[in-house]
């Protein structure tokens, strides 16, 4: 059993691990393999490659209120 070699030829994980812009690559992979559903991609990554799933946090900050300027 010491001579067993595990090959990881998953194209999703390979493409994500080689990417420079992880956020854009995740959107592209969600479109390409998961019918543009990023939640399914995140579930897939949590099952198969949890270290890649945890790297990309949501960096967007939702605004509390919109700034309105009066124009006279």
Q: Is the pTM of this model over 0.85?
A: no
Please provide the distance, in angstroms rounded to a whole number, between the alpha carbons at the two ends of the chain: 80
Q: Give the pLDDT mean for 1-15.
A: 72
* Separation of alpha carbons 72 and 69, rounded Å: 10
Q: Which residue has the higher pLDDT, 31 or 4?
A: 31
For the stretch 10-48, pLDDT in tens is 888 889 888 888 889 999 999 999 998 888 888 888 888
pLDDT of residue 29: 92
């Amino acid at each position: 059993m010491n001579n067993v070699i595990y090959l990881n030829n998953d194209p999703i994980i390979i493409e994500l691990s080689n990417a420079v812009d992880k956020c854009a690559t995740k959107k592209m992979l969600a479109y390409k393999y998961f019918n543009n559903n990023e939640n399914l991609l995140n579930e897939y990554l949590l099952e198969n490659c949890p270290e890649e799933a945890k790297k990309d946090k949501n960096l967007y900050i939702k605004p509390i209120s919109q700034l309105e300027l009066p124009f006279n």
